[in-house]
Structure formats: C-alpha cells, structure tokens
Structure 1
Amino acid sequence: MNLLLPDLSSLTDVRTFVGRARQIDEGGAIRLVGHGPTLAMYACALHGAGGPTVLALRVLALAEPAEVDATVPLASMADRFARIDRLMAGSRPTPRSVGKPIEMPVPPTTATNASWAGVAPPRSGWDVHGVVPFALLRQAARAGIDEVAAGVPAGSGASAVARLRGLVWGRTLLEDASTGASVGVPAGAAFAAEAFGFLGKTEDDSASLHSAGPWWRLSTARGHVLARGSSLF
C-alpha cells in the first residue's frame, strides 16, 4: 500500500520523525495510522522495565484519503526512503516538482517487537492543565540524560540500563504551584519532547499540558508527547 503525501517537504517530515526515532531505538518501530485526510505517526520513546510509557506523535495531512493502521520496523521505513531517493536520483528539484504529491510505500512487514503499539491513548476527552515552559522541559531532559549516562558503568547489561532509565524517567516532572502536590507527568515526557525535536530552538515558548484518565499529553506546534506513569502492558 502507498500513502500519497502532499509534497516533498511532507516526505522529509516523515523521514525526520523516523530518523529521530531510530536515534532512540535503532531496532524500533513506527505506527502509521491513516484515517481519511490525515496521517498520525507514533513512535516509542520509553516503554517497559517498570518505567513510564512515553510515545511521540506527529500528525500530517495526506494528499489522498487513506485507511491504514500498520506498525512497521523503522529500518523498513529507512529502506523505503532509500528506494525513493534512487528513483529521484538525477532529477533536479523545481518549484513544481517540490509541490507535487509523492507516494510513500508502507512496508508490508509488521514489527514484532512493538508491544507499545497496543497501548491506545484516547483521541478525545482531554482536559487542559495550563502550560509547561520549554526551558523546564529542556532542563529536565538534559538532567535525566546526564544521570542515566553517569549511573550506568561501562559493560552494564541492557536490563540494568533499562531499570535505571525507568527509574529516572518515571519520576514526576511537575508540582502543583498552589498545593505543592506532585502532578503525575513522568519526566520521560520531557525526554521525548526534546529527543523528537518538538521543542524547536526557542527558549521562551511553552507546551500545553492535557490529561485524560491515566494519560498526559504535552503539545507543541511541532508534535505531541503522550505519557502514562508506568508500563502496565
């Protein structure tokens, strides 16, 4: 099956999202959900080892309506990009070609290591809880990355690394300013927002914060982070 993207910049958007997901987990997967004129792309930033489940979500427009729900290996997507590059090799981009719809094949291979894809955040019913400054998210992300790097000695096994990541990124990110009580957003949400480039390069902006049941959502103009406090699946 092919998805018809509006233009080359949309393909670049998908490629960037896949590339950032591969930096987190080279052997990971992406879930592609096409519904009518929109494509939702989900990738996992954190899951398992008793830590939080944190997903990144980017939504794009399609040039042609589609109905698809496929979870495929990131490596297979990279292979499709390489094939598109070979087909386009030697063709000089023009304003007309850049704005022309382009087909993106959906790999036929289903990812077998993506248990997170069965975790379904709600599509509606989100309550608004204000905003979270980008500066706070960046600080939490970088502090957590440094702590994980410093806390795992060379030669540590994958399970030890996973446990430490679950501990660090499962900590509460925020407190209620009026009561001092913890707000259940896991720090891993900050990690995902930074790792997937959803914070951009500005310092004075903020992400909107929402909740629905056990789920939290950070939303920016570049994408969304969906998080729940522990891996129960």
Structure 2
Amino acid sequence: MTRLSFAGPGDAAGLAAFLGRQLRWDKAAAVRLQAGDGVAALFTRPARFEVLAVLPVALREGVPEPLDRTVSAGELLHGIDEQDGSVLLPGPVTGPPWAGLLPPRGGWEQRAEMPASRLREAAAAVVAEFKERTEALPADGRTRSAVDALAEEIWSRPLPGTQLPSRAVHAAHALGFLRTQEPGLILSAGSWLRLRTAPGSVAVRRGGGPSLGVMPL
C-alpha cells in the first residue's frame, strides 16, 4: 500500500480538517488525488456548492512514479497519521462524474487580487442576504423550488469587479481557505475561473450548468 509523508508539521492535521468538512456535507464524498514532483493535490466537490476544491500539500518524500487515484474521503481520513505526518492511501473507488473533468494544470492568468478580509465580508454578505430574503418569503411560498431559485440568483451573482460567482467565495470561506491574511488571487484559464488563496483553491467552470441549490452553512 502507498503511504505519503507530508513536508509540513501541520499538514496531516490540515488534511484531516479538510476531509472532515467534506464528510460533514456528504458521507459518501470522494477525493481525486494526484501526486508527483514533491506535491500532492487533492480535488473534491463539496456538496451543495457546485465548485471544485483543490488542496495542495507538499510531500516530505517523493513518489516513485506519478500517482493518480480516486478514493473514498472517509477511508482517506481514516488513513491519516497526524503524529507521523503521513497518510496511508486506501484502494481506488469508481469516481463520480466530476472527477473526470479537472481544472487545467497550467495556462492560468491573473484577473484580480483581493484582500482576504474583503473576501470574507463578501461571503458573509451573500449568506446574510440569502437568510433575510428567505425569511421574507410568505409561508406558503417558501417552497424548495422557490428557495433554490433564490439561492441560484444570489450565488450565481459575480463578485463585484470580477466574473467569479459568489458561490466560489462562499465555498472558500466554508472550507477555511479564507483564514489567512494573504490576498486571494482570481485567475482564469479557458472556461475555468479560480480563487486561489494560500491554503487552497476553489475552481468553477463558466457555463457549467445550473446549480443544485446552494445553502448557507
């Protein structure tokens, strides 16, 4: 079995927290993991956010050959050894459809830079607006379709001055990617948009279809 050893002292705990959030939203969450050139990249699709989350982790030791495997998030979490700073990879699983279409590795161009504090404020503002407008709906009109339509309107709205939909900022906040003092970078590559912060990234495809209804957490 393959074991990956992380370079940073807190990387194993950070990965455990990341996976724990995925499992809180989706007990059957999957992770596509790619490792090579001293870095492991973990891709997930957090339930209800309609985005892809990317967590990069530097490796203490390289892998013999490039690794690309889709695994259960729960089994991956179970294989983490925080004291040793490593993870024992579980066997592969049949990947969900999203795992076959990942953001490109290169070709990203910076479109904007924003302070983390402004991104946090933007995330809080859309959550507050959603709650306020949901509560303002008449009791007989507060149906699932009405709430989902409201969510789609709010979370599809771009962050002011950018083309990045608000759902990406909300997801980054819920994933803990905005707990940093460093600014976030908004990047684009082809049909993809990406919010990159020091802890990780959130990527979305433009024209990728309707959401499933994003709800505040």
User: What is the TM-score normalised by the length of structure 2?
Assistant: 0.76
Bigger RCO (CA 8 Å, 6+ sep): 1
Distance 2:3 2:106 in 1: 25
Alpha carbons 2:6, 2:57 under 8 Å: kept = no
The equivalent residue for 2:192 is: 215
| Deviations, residues 124-167 of structure 1 (Å, cap 9, x unaligned) | 1111123022233212222333444553899966x776655444
Cα pair 1:55 1:192 within 8 Å, conserved: no
- Tell me the equivalent position of 1:5: 5
What displacement does 1:218 show?
Answer: 1.6
Matching of residues 193-212 of structure 1 within 5 Å: 193-200=172-179, 202=181, 205-212=182-189
Alignment of 1:1-233 (within 5 A): 1-6=1-6, 9-45=10-46, 53-62=50-59, 63-65=61-63, 66-81=65-80, 84=81, 102=86, 104-112=87-95, 114-149=96-131, 151=134, 164-175=150-161, 183-200=162-179, 202=181, 205-232=182-209
Secondary structure of the structure 2 residue equivalent to 1:185? coil
Contact 2:41 2:56 in 1 (8 A): yes
Q: Deviations over 1:156-199 (max 9, x none)?
A: 66x77665544432221122xxxxxxx32111111122111111
5+ long unaligned stretches in structure 2 = 211-217
* TM-align CA RMSD: 3.1
Amino acid at match of 2:30: A
Q: C-alpha distance in 2, partners of 1:162/1:118? A: 27
Task: Identify the structure with the greater strand proportion.
Answer: 1
In structure 2, what is the Cα distance between the partners aligned to 1:164 and 1:25?
A: 23
How many residue pairs end up in the alignment?
Answer: 202
Distance apart, 1:201 and its partner CA: 5.1
Secondary structure in 2 aligned to 1:198?
A: coil
Distance change in 2, residues 1:146/1:30 (3 Å): farther
The residue that corresponds to 2:215 in the other structure is none
CA–CA distance in structure 2, aligned partners of residues 46 and 188 of structure 1: 12
Deviations 1:62-105 (A, max 9, x none): 21325222222222223334xx58xxxxxxxxxxxx5x664x22
User: Which amino acid counterpart does residue 175 of structure 2 have in structure 1?
Assistant: F
Q: Is the 8 A contact 1:144 1:169 kept in 2?
A: yes
Kindly provide the amino acid, as one letter, of the partner of residue 183 in structure 2.
S
- Change in 2 beyond 3 A, CA 1:135/1:10: closer
How many angstroms apart in 2 are the aligned matches of 1:173 and 1:45? 20
Q: Post-superposition shift, 1:44?
A: 1.5
How far does residue 43 in structure 1 lie from its aligned partner after superposition? 1.6
Contact 2:180 2:198 in 1 (8 A): no
Q: CA deviation at 1:209?
A: 1.7
Go from structure 1 to structure 2 and tell me whether the alpha carbon gap of 1:101 and 1:145 turns closer, same or farther (over 3 Å shift).
closer
Taking every aligned residue pair, what percent have the same amino acid on both sides? 30
TM-score (norm 1): 0.71
- How many angstroms apart in 2 are the aligned matches of 1:146 and 1:73? 33
Instruction: Name the CA distance, whole Å, in 2 between partners of 1:193 and 1:208.
Output: 12
